[in-house]
Chain A
């Protein structure tokens, strides 16, 4: 780890003032990913601005019946918050499917959005990586790419976003509130994370001089019919090979609204409007689930070691839709698939 200057921000304006004009300064909150990347020399900030004491730790109901989550609410507090458990159980479940309780106690809501890929080549400074060092090449395309993308990859990068929480936030169509020197703005969740394209070094559309202040959930929470199904190499404490978040609204047996997002398969949580449209108006039956999965997977492209993810994702989508339709969400502690 290279040496760095440390400064503690007392409020958001203070934090923005401290980062202004510095190309190599970074904010730090929970630090669970950033400190690790600094130890690996992947991140080399010369200045760290500690934002962990900013007053952004509230979970508040909004006037329209939604929820506003402060950017510094720890992941564990959010997962166990009564309003989240009651109204947005898919979010609670997705958070508890990720990391460990120790890490969730440290990790912040905003930081979860900003965590970086766990692509082994991104972490290994001895290998080329366009995300770490633009223009150096991608080692994963011709390398060990078992954990990598099957959607939205480019010739520059096939890394995936590692978050579980973000897959649920995609389904819930959250809004990310940010503040910069030029004021505040709201970013729709679907517009927050980027595809790699030819600029894989940029994971998100957050400006370098902007700070996430809150994540807002709209009222629709899919509390009755939802699931988060995560498949990984061991039963806990591992990143997803494929994960699926589902939210359904049913009227008797008919699907009125359907949301479906995949994790572990792309540079951002992956949704497909056509697959969701395929489900609306259909009876909640395996035929419709299979049809939606086929539409979802139509654009999938595997690499040497990860083509298995295409079939795995298809089966996970069908199973997750079935779980949500039955109102039997996948348990994150009882590991038998519901």
Chain B
């Protein structure tokens, strides 16, 4: 067996712009974007729920598109622009979706909330959801075990009206 067939951890340089700030990091090839955000950059607003792409708690925006950061290898996103929940508020003002989630009491325990909000930012940017049915379907990748779904839909509808 050649050496290339052996299991070898590799450390690689990666440049990520997170919430407008460029970070030059050295990461393990196995590191998920989720773990790099939480463990290297202390951006713990992005949550680890299932770590298998089934719950949506880890949703962030990469180059404006919502993705599951737990299934994203950080090295593959070299050069990307990443927005997390910490990057949504501007100049001390909450993002309209953050305010809408408060206005509509769109959470109970809050663990899924940052993923829900980042996902909803992506949803509104995509412009494919108009009705409540469409919002529910296109938000189905974000699970809320507390069952705050009706209020989440109401919050997103409020933010959509404002955008």
Contacts from A to B (Cβ < 8 Å): 1-6, 22-25, 28, 31-32, 35-36, 38-39, 44, 46-48, 50, 52, 76, 80, 96, 99-103, 105-106, 235-237, 332-335
Write the chain A residue with the least CB distance to B58.
A102
**Bound-complex Cα distance A44 to B76 (A):** 18
Contacts of B138 in A (CB 8 A): 101, 333
B123 near A101 with CB under 8 A, answer: yes
Chain B interface, DSSP helix/strand/loop, else mixed: mixed
Given A4-B30, A5-B10, CB of A106 within 8 Å of CB of B71 = yes
Give the interface segment out of B36-44, B84-92, B128-136.
Answer: B128-136
**Bound-complex Cα distance A248 to B9 (A):** 52
Closest 10 CB pairs of A and B: A100-B141, A3-B9, A236-B140, A333-B137, A237-B140, A2-B7, A6-B29, A333-B133, A333-B134, A105-B65
Given A32-B53, A102-B56, CB of A6 within 8 Å of CB of B126 = no
Given A46-B4, A237-B140, CB of A106 within 8 Å of CB of B126 = no
Write the chain A residue with the least CB distance to B132.
A333
B29 near A102 with CB under 8 A, answer: no
18 contacting pairs across A/B (C-beta < 8 A): A4-B7, A6-B75, A25-B4, A31-B71, A36-B53, A46-B6, A96-B137, A100-B140, A100-B142, A101-B126, A102-B56, A103-B141, A106-B67, A106-B71, A333-B134, A333-B137, A334-B133, A335-B133
* B72 contacts partner chain A, Cβ-Cβ < 8 Å: yes
Write the chain A residue with the least CB distance to B134.
A333
Contact residues of B between 74 and 118, Cβ < 8 Å to A: 75-76
**Bound-complex Cα distance A221 to B12 (A):** 46
Given A101-B138, A102-B141, A236-B137, CB of A5 within 8 Å of CB of B8 = yes
Q: How many residues of B contact A (CB 8 A)?
A: 41
**Bound-complex Cα distance A52 to B79 (A):** 13
B7 near A32 with CB under 8 A, answer: no
Our pick among A23, A24, A28, A103 for the contact of B53 (Cβ within 8 Å) is: A103
Contacts A24-B5, A100-B56, A333-B136 known; 12 new A-B pairs at CB < 8 A: A3-B8, A3-B29, A4-B8, A6-B29, A23-B5, A47-B4, A80-B128, A102-B56, A102-B66, A102-B141, A105-B65, A332-B137
* B68 contacts partner chain A, Cβ-Cβ < 8 Å: yes
B12 near A6 with CB under 8 A, answer: yes
**Bound-complex Cα distance A48 to B8 (A):** 11
B133 near A106 with CB under 8 A, answer: no
Given A36-B53, A237-B141, CB of A5 within 8 Å of CB of B29 = yes
Write the chain A residue with the least CB distance to B127.
A80
Contacts of B56 in A (CB 8 A): 100, 102
A48 near B59 with CB under 8 A, answer: no
Contacts of A3 in B (CB 8 A): 7-10, 28-30
Min CB gap A302→B, angstroms: 27
Write the chain B residue with the least CB distance to A333.
B137
B71 near A101 with CB under 8 A, answer: no
Contacts of A39 in B (CB 8 A): 51-52
B71 near A36 with CB under 8 A, answer: yes
Given A3-B9, A31-B73, CB of A101 within 8 Å of CB of B66 = yes
* B157 contacts partner chain A, Cβ-Cβ < 8 Å: no
B76 near A103 with CB under 8 A, answer: no
**Bound-complex Cα distance A117 to B70 (A):** 20
* B32 contacts partner chain A, Cβ-Cβ < 8 Å: yes
